[in-house]
């Protein structure tokens, strides 16, 4: 549709020419927004572009080799651009942040002991272990259901946990901890090799001598363990160099490190799909329009409505009463008296053998009659089309309280 056709469509539905809504008119719309071409109070899609001699800019896209666009604004009478591509180049920072790691010993309930690389995370409330290390130690695990939330509330769950003994390779420190097992904790730490020329004294006993080389992490020690590991010693190596912290596991290394070789240039190609919004807007209008047409009823629906209108009554207590409809001719219902009599005879024989149950049954029936839920009738006064409902008594589990069940779904002689 061109702008003129859009204008006619808005006039036809008596809608707002500023926001394209059909809930109010333009004069009652308080928004300060105007057309971005002429600054008049109508939507930019309704702007009619005059003939212009302004220069034309050619845009090349993947789907359309060349697309003409007036320099004063897009020509809405021509198809809109399908895709716009952009290339972004950037360079990552020349620093890398080291996370503290340590080599520790882990032992389960057996005598088997394994060394593993642990990541010390002050921001974690739990201790975690990789499934690989748990299988390597043959740990007996316990079923659990522990939810784990990460950055941005990303959720993950652990279904098993284990109790292990954590030991330091640099001191006599030992601690029994509970670890929750996950398939994988994190990627290799660090993710790239870090230059080791950091002038660390040879007298400093490192918790992880290979802290600058990428390696797998099989254990994560949270804040609970961190508070037991920390010692007062601290060494700062200088600007753009990491810090050393003394712990019972040895000296841990963490912080920003300047890369000796600048990081490679990173590129990003972005493609934006741009479609004409009018079809989507028309669909919105159709969905937002109230359907005043009454759908046609089926034969059964029409019969049900007629039955309700013909038989509904308002009782003195302001309740509604309506006759139950029959899906088929009641004459085809069949006979039910014999079935009701057989069921009653069987119930009577059972009650004669249990006086307590007989007393409860009689009490129930008397109350049922007293509440006008049933009345005595003579067989001669029963209508031709009728249904005798068989009944029996039942007991609640672990109780002697009796209740009577009316089986209105029992089949008649014609099933």
- Residue 103, pLDDT score: 92
C-alpha to C-alpha distance for 261 and 94, rounded to whole angstroms: 8
Burial pattern 265-296, b for ≥16 Cβ within 10 A else e, equals eeeeeeeeeeeeebeeeeeeeeeeeeeeeeee
Q: Which of 96, 126, 349 is nearest to 242 (CA)?
A: 96
| Res. 411: pLDDT tops 70 | yes
Tell me the per-residue pLDDT of 299-345, one tens digit each, with 9 for 90 and over.
888 888 888 888 888 888 888 888 877 666 666 677 878 888 888 88
Q: Would you give the distance in Å from CA 273 to the centre of its chain?
A: 28
- Residue 264, pLDDT score: 54
Lowest mean pLDDT among 215-219, 248-252, 264-268, 404-408: 264-268
C-alpha to C-alpha distance for 201 and 233, rounded to whole angstroms: 14
120 or 194: whose pLDDT is higher?
120
What are the residues facing 147 on neighbouring strands?
157
Do residues 177 and 223 lie in contact, with contact meaning Cβ atoms separated by under 8 Å?
no
Quick one: average pLDDT of 131-157? 79
C-alpha to C-alpha distance for 317 and 203, rounded to whole angstroms: 96
Structure tokens at 33: 């927004």
What are the residues facing 115 on neighbouring strands?
105
Q: How confident is the model at residue 52 (pLDDT cuts 50, 70, 90)?
A: very low
| Res. 268: pLDDT tops 60 | no
- Residue 12, pLDDT score: 77
- What does the mean pLDDT of the chain come to? 76
Q: How confident is the model at residue 61 (pLDDT cuts 50, 70, 90)?
A: very low
Quick one: average pLDDT of 112-130? 87
Bond into 190 cis (ω within 30) = yes
- Residue 315, pLDDT score: 86
Q: How many residues does the chain have?
A: 415
Structure tokens at 361: 């049954």
| Res. 215: pLDDT tops 60 | yes
| Res. 57: pLDDT tops 50 | no
C-alpha to C-alpha distance for 235 and 201, rounded to whole angstroms: 11
Q: How many other β-carbons are positioned within 10 Å of the β-carbon of residue 20? A: 20
Tell me the per-residue pLDDT of 153-212, one tens digit each, with 9 for 90 and over.
677 778 888 888 899 988 899 889 898 888 888 888 888 887 656 778 888 888 888 888
- Residue 318, pLDDT score: 83
- Residue 277, pLDDT score: 66
Burial pattern 45-79, b for ≥16 Cβ within 10 A else e, equals bbbebeeeeeeeeeeeeeeeeebeebeebebbeee
- Residue 76, pLDDT score: 42
Lowest mean pLDDT among 192-206, 265-279, 363-377: 265-279
Do residues 255 and 224 lie in contact, with contact meaning Cβ atoms separated by under 8 Å?
no
- Residue 72, pLDDT score: 42
Structure tokens at 360: 């409860």
Quick one: average pLDDT of 238-257? 87
| Res. 360: pLDDT tops 70 | yes
Tell me the per-residue pLDDT of 21-37, one tens digit each, with 9 for 90 and over.
766 777 766 666 778 77
C-alpha to C-alpha distance for 129 and 144, rounded to whole angstroms: 14
Q: Which of 86, 82, 136, 80 is nearest to 106 (CA)?
A: 136
DSSP state of 268: E
Structure tokens at 221: 């020690």
- The kind and range of the H/E element at 149 are strand 142-149
DSSP state of 152: G
Q: Which domains does the chain have, with CATH numbers?
A: 3-78 (no CATH), 96-258 (2.40.70.10), 299-325 (no CATH), 332-406 (no CATH)
Tell me the per-residue pLDDT of 70-111, one tens digit each, with 9 for 90 and over.
434 444 444 444 555 555 555 556 777 888 999 999 988 777
C-alpha to C-alpha distance for 41 and 10, rounded to whole angstroms: 14
| Res. 11: pLDDT tops 50 | yes
- Residue 92, pLDDT score: 56
């Amino acid at each position: 549709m061109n702008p003129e056709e859009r204008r006619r469509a808005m006039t036809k539905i008596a809608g707002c020419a500023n926001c394209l809504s059909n809930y109010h008119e333009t004069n009652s719309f308080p928004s300060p927004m105007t057309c971005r071409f002429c600054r008049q109070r109508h939507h930019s899609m309704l702007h009619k572009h005059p003939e212009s001699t302004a220069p034309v800019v050619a845009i090349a896209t993947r789907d359309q080799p060349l697309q003409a666009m007036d320099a004063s604004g897009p020509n809405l009478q021509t198809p809109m651009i399908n895709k716009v591509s952009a290339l972004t180049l950037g360079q990552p920072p020349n620093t890398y942040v080291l996370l503290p790691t340590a080599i520790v010993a882990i032992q389960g309930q057996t005598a088997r002991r394994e060394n593993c690389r642990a990541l010390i995370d002050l921001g974690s409330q739990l201790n975690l272990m990789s499934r690989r290390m748990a299988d390597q130690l043959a740990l007996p695990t316990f079923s659990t259901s522990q939810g784990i939330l990460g950055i941005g509330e990303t959720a993950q769950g652990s279904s098993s946990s284990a109790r292990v003994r954590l030991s330091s390779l640099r001191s006599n420190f030992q601690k029994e901890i509970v670890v929750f097992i996950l398939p994988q904790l994190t990627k290799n730490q660090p993710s790239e090799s870090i230059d080791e020329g950091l002038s660390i004294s040879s007298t400093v006993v490192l918790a992880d001598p290979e802290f600058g080389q990428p390696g797998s992490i099989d254990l994560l020690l949270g804040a609970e363990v961190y508070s037991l590991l920390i010692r007062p010693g601290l060494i700062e190596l200088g600007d753009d160099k990491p810090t050393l912290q003394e712990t019972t596991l040895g000296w841990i290394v963490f912080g920003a490190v300047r890369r000796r070789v600048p990081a490679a240039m990173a590129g990003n190609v972005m493609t934006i799909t741009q479609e004409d919004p009018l079809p989507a807007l028309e669909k919105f209008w159709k969905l937002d329009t109230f359907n005043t047409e009454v759908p046609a009823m089926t034969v059964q629906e029409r019969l049900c409505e007629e039955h309700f209108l013909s038989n509904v009554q308002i009782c003195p207590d302001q309740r509604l009463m309506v006759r139950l409809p029959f899906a088929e001719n009641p004459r085809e219902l069949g006979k039910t008296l014999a079935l009701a009599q057989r069921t009653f005879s069987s119930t009577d024989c059972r009650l004669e053998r249990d006086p307590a149950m007989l007393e409860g049954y009689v009490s129930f029936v008397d109350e049922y009659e007293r509440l006008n839920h049933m009345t005595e009738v003579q067989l001669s006064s029963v209508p031709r089309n009728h249904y005798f409902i068989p009944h029996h008594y039942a007991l609640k589990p672990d109780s002697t309280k009796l209740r009577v069940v009316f089986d209105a779904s029992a089949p008649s002689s014609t099933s």
